[in-house]
Amino acid sequence: MGELTPGEREVRRGAVGELGEALRDLVDAAVRTEVPLDRLTEATGAARELTALLSADLREVHEIASVDDPETGERWYSPVYGPGSPVAPPMVVEDFPDEGRCVGRVTVPKKLEGPPGLVHGGVVATLLDHVLARSARGAGHGGLTATLTVTYRRPVHLGVPLVVIGQLVSVEGRRATATARLVAADDPDTTLAEGEALLVALRAERASEVFARTGRDVGAWTSRS
Ligand SMILES: CCCCCCCCCCCC(=O)SCCNC(=O)CCNC(=O)[C@H](O)C(C)(C)COP(=O)(O)OP(=O)(O)OC[C@H]1O[C@@H](n2cnc3c(N)ncnc32)[C@H](O)[C@@H]1OP(=O)(O)O
């Protein structure tokens, strides 16, 4: 599919979000089901039919989705916040660019479980990484994560509304430092996990090389974004 007009993109984004929600429900059912074997087999056949339906027109692995805007960095299939992603929790993020801050709200479902009943530690790191990079990007310092330090202070439970706050702390040339906290929405004074990251903006020519395979102009990871 070629580039969409803004109107077409909005319509398609709505449909992509609906499919994403339906697939997240499906994934949730798939990881929680205890139905008998014959039902599992029946579901496998139905899932394969659905795959064939969607596979009639697929992007190559590096191609950017027609619903995305690579210049602003919007990713409709982001594994963190993408409305179309079956694997995203998904997190809903509010940006406060003037304050170099962003606030994510998320309730992590069963599919992202680590220890029984708890959120997988790698998922905690992913949520923190996202708000760390995003707080810097919102304030005009787009960059890739060069270092990420995560401190796990308390177990993070599945099915509980969480708030993840990213804050840009400092900028020096192409380097930005940000910190983040993850708390339960009903107990915001108790830090469950915290993160610190160094984000390094790509030089424009390096960004062209790194993203060449997408075939599009991707500006969101350089210092001008
Ligand atoms: C709307 C929706 C929004 C959506 C918002 C979306 C948010 C999504 C968040 C996802 C974030 C990710 O997962 S990003 C993906 C994971 N990260 C990556 O893939 C990065 C892989 N690493 C690299 O590509 C590279 O190592 C870089 C880019 C980090 C640095 O390489 P480079 O660009 O060549 O930089 P280089 O010249 O070496 O260094 C530049 C400066 O940074 C310093 N520096 C570089 N690396 C380090 C380091 N590890 N520790 C300390 N310092 C370092 C250097 O000393 C130097 O300082 P000085 O000499 O200038 O003083």
What separation in Å is there between the alpha carbon of 24 and the centre of ligand 1?
32
Q: Is 74 in the pocket of ligand 1 (CB under 6 A)?
A: yes
Q: Is 174 in the pocket of ligand 1 (CB under 6 A)?
A: yes
The CATH number of whichever domain residue 143 belongs to comes to 3.10.129.10
Q: What is the pLDDT of residues 54-90, one digit of tens each?
A: 999 999 999 999 999 877 788 999 999 999 999 999 9
Integer Cα distance of 89 and 110 in angstroms: 9
Ligand 1, atom 6: closest residue by C-alpha:
134
102 found inside a domain: yes
Ligand 1, atom 46: closest residue by C-alpha:
146
Print the domain residue range for 202: 92-214
Q: Check whether 2 has a pLDDT greater than 80.
A: no
27 found inside a domain: no
Q: Tell me how many domains the chain contains.
A: 1
104 found inside a domain: yes
Give percent above pLDDT 90 in the chain.
Answer: 84
96 found inside a domain: yes
Kindly report the pTM of this predicted structure: 0.94
26 found inside a domain: no
14 found inside a domain: no
Q: Is 141 in the pocket of ligand 1 (CB under 6 A)?
A: no
Phi, psi of 34 (to 5 degrees): -130, 30
Ligand 1, atom 16: closest residue by C-alpha:
145
122-149: b (≥16 Cβ within 10 Å) or e: ebbbbbbbbbbbbbbbbbebbbebeebe
Reported as a pLDDT band with limits 50, 70 and 90, residue 218 is confident
44 found inside a domain: no
Integer Cα distance of 182 and 180 in angstroms: 7
ipTM of the shown complex: 0.93
